[in-house]
Structures are given as C-alpha cells and as structure tokens.
Structure 1
C-alpha cells in the first residue's frame, strides 16, 4: 500500500483496469492496488480470439489483491458495449469514492491477411480494441472533467505504429487508439487530466499467438515480465506527472522509448501548376522515401522489387 510520511496507508481513489484478469492488465491492477488505489478489475474472461467468456480471470486477480490487503472489485462485462463504459465508471466511484485513473489493457486477436479477412473478423477486433477504448474513455473523461483531475493510459502496439501484414484489423484499431489518445489529451488538458499511450512488449497469451517472424522484430530480452509496463502506467497516473500528456511510449522489460507523433518530414511547393510527370518525380525522388522499418525487419518483399523481378 502507499504510505504517508507517518508510515500509514494513504488511500486513493479508484482506477479502472480493463483486461485486468491476465497478462499486462493483471500486473497493472496489482501494481495500482499496491500503491493504494482501489481497482476495478474489468475482464470478460474470453480466449485470445474473444470466445468463451468466464468470470474466473477477473475474480482471481481481485482475490489476489484483497488477500494482499488491497481494495478491488471485479467486473465481467464486455467493453465493446457502450453501457459497460458507464458501468465501470459508476462502479469505481461508488466503491472507491472517485475515479483517479483508467488503464485500457483489454484486447483480442484474429490474424488474417487483408485479402482473406472476413467482415466479422474485422468488426470484432475493431469493436473490442477501438470502440471498447472509446466506450471507457468516453465515460471516464466525463467524470474526470467534473472532478478536474485524473489520468488515462491507453494501449497501442507496434502493429498500430508500424503495421503488421497479417493484422490489418488489429493494426487499424491500435493506430486509431493513438489518434483517440492525442485527441483526448488535447480536450482534457483544461480539466487537469493527462492522457498517454503505451506500446507494450511482454510475453502474454496474445503474443504467444503471434508468428515467430513478427516476434523476432524485437529482441527476446525485451519480451519478458510486464512489470516495467505496469510501473510506467502507474508513473503516468501519478499526480506529479500531469505535465506528461499526449505521449506514446514504447515499454519493454528493459527499455523505454518515446515516439515522435506523426508530422511532415519533407515538403515541396510547386512554382506553377505541375503536370503528371512533375508529380511523379516529386513523389518518387524529391520528397524521398522512408521505407516502413518492418519490410526489412520481417523480410518482406518491396513492391518495386516484385515488379522489377529482383526479389
């Protein structure tokens, strides 16, 4: 538990941790509880693909926190439902007095190449990751606006920042979360609320499903215990860190990094109305090309190499 200078536990308000029944979310929930927060452990208890819901995961983490002397309550609804976002906020405030934080660790994975992906595979991943994050952020910000205090930490991924050939649904959702985070940070600054995004790397049920080639884009030593990820979420939620907002941080077992938000790298101003050849020359040569890092990291063919028969 958190301590005051007198050595007594300093109770804090509530923090919602979605996906709190396992992996990164469970570690986050336990770290916040040990710091004196009351924790809403939100987890539907589904498989990595989003099937077979069961309450055991959230209940187990809740019991672990209580057994250690912390405060926790379980919630088993699906964050993909709009009303569940409101339920979570109401539960946190009714149980723990106020809402101090939200950390969104929930997610499912359904891998498929884009040309084979079904509508259901697309919709289910977008609904859980992107809509689910919106649902929670929507109601958390409404409460934090009234309080004029609070912190939100969302989760993106390397797929959302750099793409992934067999995860168009997941990558699109995770990229959307980055945009949602930036927009929310801009909206909530005037209310004393900071909003940040973590791109985590750890060994979890979800990463066990990812292909070896994708996993190898990050050194094995950086895919270990999620403890640092939980500590960074806790640090970002500390009232002393309110000036840290709108940031995207990569967090592994051993390393921290900050991403620079998307911005223009090069620009051209035409002296006169350009013809097609001028535009082709501009996009091919004058602007320059910054190849996606993962073409090389994953050993993927570039389209020009295929077209030229040099692959």
Structure 2
C-alpha cells in the first residue's frame, strides 16, 4: 500500500511539473506573439484571414470524378494524413490542359471552420494554387470531419460519406530534413549546419511574404520547411534552397505595420526555438542563437544602393544611375510605408 501511495504521489508530482512547464512554454509563445505589429484576437489567435467565410463559394465545384485515384503523400512532414498525390503517369486536367500529376499535390480540407477558405486565397496570392473544389468520399479520419461538422453519425466511420474541400497545388520541391534517408547518418555538427542554412533562407522568405502580403507565417516547424539538397559525387549533402508549406489557419496572422529587421529577427528565432523544442531536445541542442546576419544583410544592401561609384561622382551620374536611384527611392518609400 505504501509503495502504491508513493507511486501515486510521484506521478502527481511529475504531472504537476510537466503541466507547469507546458504553461511556461505557452506563456513564452504568447509573449513572443504579443508584438505590437501582430494583430490577434481571442485567445491570441488570428482575428481573421483573407478569404474567410467563403467555404461554400470556393469549394462549390465538384471534383469527385476527377480525383478518384489518389494515394497518400507519405513524404510530407509528420501531419500529412490529408495530403495526397497522383499515381505515376496520371495527368490532371486544368482549364483544358493536361498537367503531369507528379507535379501536383492534393490537400483535403474538412471545412469545419469559417477560415478553411482562407488557404485558397493565400495559395492564390503566392501563385501555387492550380484548382479547388470539393470531393465526396468515405470519411477516413472519423465521422466528425468533412462538412458534417459537429454531428455524430455512429462509430463506424467507413460508412460515413462526407464532402471535403480540395486544394490542388504545385508540388514543392524538397523534403523536411528529417525525412531524408541519410539524415540519421549525419553528425550533429553536420545536421546543425543544414538547419542553420535552412533558417537563414526561411527567415528571408517569411519576411518577404510579410512585406508583399502583409501576412505573417507563424508556424515555424521544421516539418513545414521543405529543403532542397544537392549531393556531390562523393555523397556530400549540401543545402540548396528551402520552401514553406502549410498556409492554413491558424498559422497566418495579419499585421498593422512592417516590423524593423531587428525586431523581426528577434521574433523569428524565438518562434522557431519554441516550435523546434522536441527536435532540439532529441539532438541535445540548446536554443538556436540569432546569427546576426539577417538585419545586417538588409542594411548593407540598402547602403549599397545609396553609395555612388567614383565615376558617377565625377560625372554627376549617368541617366541609368539616376533611374536606378529613383527606383530605389520609390522602393524605400514603399518599405517605409
């Protein structure tokens, strides 16, 4: 009896510690998202997103007959149950033209939220959306998915037919780093170099998305970064380019102004360190420090645009140089705005 009591007390103690630790992590994330330039709503979630409340409109076209032959896309991150691809050799018709199926991916959306239509608008803005509509199929994730939101049709999900929203988009090159076969064979320093280079590239792309669309991509999970790798004749793997995937609610926030590079730099690494906690712990790594290059690169590129060459200084500047200076001034005005 005494041993049982000790086990129960010990379990409750550990559970209490874990609960406190989770609360602290949640508080840190909330503090990082509590920047004056990020617009938030209830419980710290986005207030809205572009294209909200249009599920019926954007998912009106029935694509069931065109999408009868899909297979799970098993190489895309850890949460890929709703992502599919086409079998080899199968084409998909878009606006009367056949597009190779191996260049596309299909994502199913359950349409249980008014924000599920937002991803259509965001993917359209970034230029990767190819088609969208709805698909009728047997529920394979449980009876409460699809447009039958909140209802319970029984425990046997295989007999429940639901309509799903469908996003057909360009397949992004690369994989999450941990999905590569050779990843486990790398040393920790080699892994760290690839992660650091990925972060430098992703930070630039998130900031550019912020400036061009006034939308903040916040779910900085390594499984949302698809990395292209170059492998030389000696089998050495080196970083080529990284891409963002998963632009759905609630990972996209609106903003009220463009933050300064230093402010964004601070936000980015705190956000990544939060999302990468499990990964870093498995590798025995502490938090990734800010490399101090992002804001510096932007500043240097800006300064380079301001400095005239010696020849231009002597001649008063060529017509081409004057036009370039005008374009740079307009660009700075846009960025400042």
Settle same-fold status: TM greater than 0.5.
Answer: no
Query: What range is the shorter-chain TM-score in?
Result: under 0.3
- Which is strand-richer, 1 or 2? 2
The normalised TM-score by structure 1 is: 0.24
- Which structure has the larger Rg over C-alpha atoms? 2
